[in-house]
Structures are given as C-alpha cells and as structure tokens.
C-alpha cells in the first residue's frame, strides 16, 4: 500500500513496542507517575481553594494551571497505560481524532495560562502600586476563560482538516499517543500545506506565548537588578523561579518536537521529548511549587493538622 491512498479505519500506536521486555515495568512507572500527577496537582487545587491566605491572584492562576495539567495528562496517560497492559495498540481514527483534539486544546490552554502567569508576575513586580487595579478579579477570570476558549475553534478546524486528508504508506504511528506531527506525517497530497499548518499553529499558540513570557522576565530581571537590597532581590526572584522552571521544562521540550528539522531518526527522540511536556512537567509542577513556596507548605501543614485532629 506504500505510496497509495487507502481508507484508514484505525491507527497502530507503536509506543514502546520496541521494548517488549519492559512493558510491565513501564506500566508500573507510568501508573505511579499518573497517580502522583493526580494527587500532587489535586492537592494544589484543594489548598488554593481552602486556605484563605492563598486566595490571591497568583494562586488563582496556579489552581487553574494544575487543573489543566490533570486534564491534559488524563487525555494521554490512561490510553498509554491501557496499551502497555493489554498490548493492544490499535486505536480507531475517531478515537485518535478526539484524543488529538482535546490534547491540542489543553496544550494551547496551558501555553496561554503560562503566559498569563508571567504577565501577573510582571505586573506584581514591575508595577506593584497598580497591581490591585490591573489584576482585578474580573480581568483574572477573563484571562483564564480566554486561555481556555481561544484555541478551541482553531484546534477543531485543524483536527477536521487533518483527518479529512487521505492517508498513504502506513497506518503505524511511531508515537505514544496521537500527536499532530506523527499523524500529519502519514497524510498524502500537498504535504507542504499540512506541515505548514503544524508550524503555524505552533508559532501562534506556543512560540508567541513563549516570547511574551521571555519579554516579561526580561523586564522583571531589569527591575530586580535595580533593587538595592540583596535579600530583596532574592525574595522577589524566588516568587518567579518556580514558574520559570515550569516554563523551561514545558516550552523547551515542546518547541524542540515541533520546530526542529524532521528526519527518519528523530521519531524516537520525539517520543522522549513529548513525555516531558505531557508527563514530566505535570509531575514536577506540584513539587516545584510546594518545595519553593513557604505559603503552600504552610497551607498543607494546616490541612494535615486539621485532618489528624478530626
């Protein structure tokens, strides 16, 4: 069937099929990771809702960010676990399209939320006197709502366009889930248009938010350097460092997958990098924000003490 169009009813997610002796081990590892993601990010959501001291703009965004982490991890990891457990890697075209659509919507939401969180830190540090006025409750809700809905029409249209195209060569996806680059690679016709749409979406919804984050942090660093107190510089930078670490992990791996030149040897490494922005970042997000944040640690201690007393 190589080089010819044919009707694709399902795809085969190769995943980690090249490691047959490690299927059980990988299932255990990914199950532990998934449970830790649910527990860690769930705790952040609970803490930011329960503790009155954390009901501020920064933690409002953090709670929403943790919710997005849970959602988009749940789009990919349960399917990966099922494939590892059953060794049945077949996925219907409809299921693949739904997974890709929800995954892209949530990734776009995460990119925009990270940019919003960077803007929040920029206003708090560079314009502290105007912070309560600028970052009012109405604007915060609008920014979160906008982050959720902005990419929906584009992603739905993009998904429909991809799965309306003919497929040729093979129905085997050398990936751990239905992501846009490996799916587009199997399409026929004008491949330039297909590949261009992938890059265009990555530029609009990933590269531009990343550049906005960089611009925010450039201004934040310039403001921090103007502070005379060394302890003041450390305190201000510590409030941004957690967010900055998450940004580097998430955008660094994502931009590598979508923007580096493709070759036949890059598929294996693409799978590894994709695990960073789908699994590693959501897993380390709670650790990064709790270990480096005294307010969150204090809130967790309060909840733990109340639970022990009850």
Tens of pLDDT, residue by residue, the chain (310 residues):
444 545 567 899 988 888 888 889 999 999 999 999 999 999 899 888 888 888 899 899 999 999 999 998 999 999 999 999 988 889 999 999 999 999 999 999 999 999 999 999 999 999 999 999 999 999 999 999 999 999 999 999 989 888 888 887 678 888 889 988 888 888 876 667 777 877 888 888 888 999 999 999 999 989 888 877 777 677 777 778 888 888 988 888 777 777 766 655 566 677 777 888 888 888 888 888 776 677 777 877 887 777 777 6
- Its sign, for the CA torsion 203, 209, 212, 217, is negative
pTM score, whole prediction: 0.89
Q: Which residues have a Cβ under 8 Å from the Cβ of 243 and sit 6 or more positions away?
A: 114, 117, 118, 121
Q: Which of 97, 85, 93 is nearest to 12 (CA)?
A: 93
Helix axes 294-309, 23-50, angle to 10 degrees: 90
Query: 5-309, superfamily in CATH?
Result: Rhodopsin 7-helix transmembrane proteins (1.20.1070.10)
274 closest CA partner among 297, 252, 254: 254
Burial class of residue 131, CB neighbours in 10 A (0-12, 13-18, 19+): middle
What pLDDT shows up at residue 3? 46
Domain ranges of the chain: 5-309
User: Following CA atoms 165, 169, 170, 176 in sequence, which dihedral angle do they give, to the nearest 10 degrees?
Assistant: -70
């Amino acid at each position: 069937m190589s080089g010819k169009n044919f009707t694709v009813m399902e795809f085969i997610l190769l995943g980690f099929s090249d490691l047959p002796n490690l299927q059980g081990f990988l299932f255990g590892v990914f199950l532990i990771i998934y449970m830790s993601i649910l527990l860690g990010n769930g705790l952040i959501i609970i803490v930011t809702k329960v503790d009155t001291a954390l009901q501020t703009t920064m933690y409002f965004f953090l709670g929403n960010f943790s919710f997005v982490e849970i959602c988009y991890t749940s789009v990919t990891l349960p399917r990966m676990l099922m494939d590892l457990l059953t060794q049945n890697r077949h996925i219907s075209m409809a299921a693949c399209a739904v997974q890709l659509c929800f995954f892209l919507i949530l990734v776009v939401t995460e990119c925009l939320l990270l940019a919003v969180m960077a803007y929040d830190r920029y206003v708090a540090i560079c314009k502290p006197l105007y912070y309560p006025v600028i970052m009012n409750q109405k604007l915060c809700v609008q920014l979160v709502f906008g982050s959720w809905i902005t990419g929906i029409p584009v992603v739905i249209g993009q998904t429909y366009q991809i799965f309306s195209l003919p497929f040729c060569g093979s129905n085997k996806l050398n990936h751990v889930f239905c992501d846009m680059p490996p799916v587009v690679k199997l399409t026929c016709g004008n491949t330039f248009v297909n590949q261009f749409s992938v890059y265009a979406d990555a530029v609009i919804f990933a590269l531009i938010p990343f550049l906005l984050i960089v611009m925010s942090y450039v201004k934040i660093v310039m403001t921090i350097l103007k502070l005379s107190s060394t302890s003041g510089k450390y305190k201000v930078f510590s409030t941004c460092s957690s967010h900055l670490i998450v940004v580097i992990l998430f955008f660094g791996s994502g931009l590598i997958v979508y923007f580096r030149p493709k070759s036949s040897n890059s598929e294996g490494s693409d799978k590894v990098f994709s695990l960073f922005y789908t699994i590693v970042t959501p897993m380390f997000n709670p650790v990064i924000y709790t270990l480096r944040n005294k307010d969150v640690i204090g809130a967790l201690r309060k909840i733990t003490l109340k639970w022990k007393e009850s």
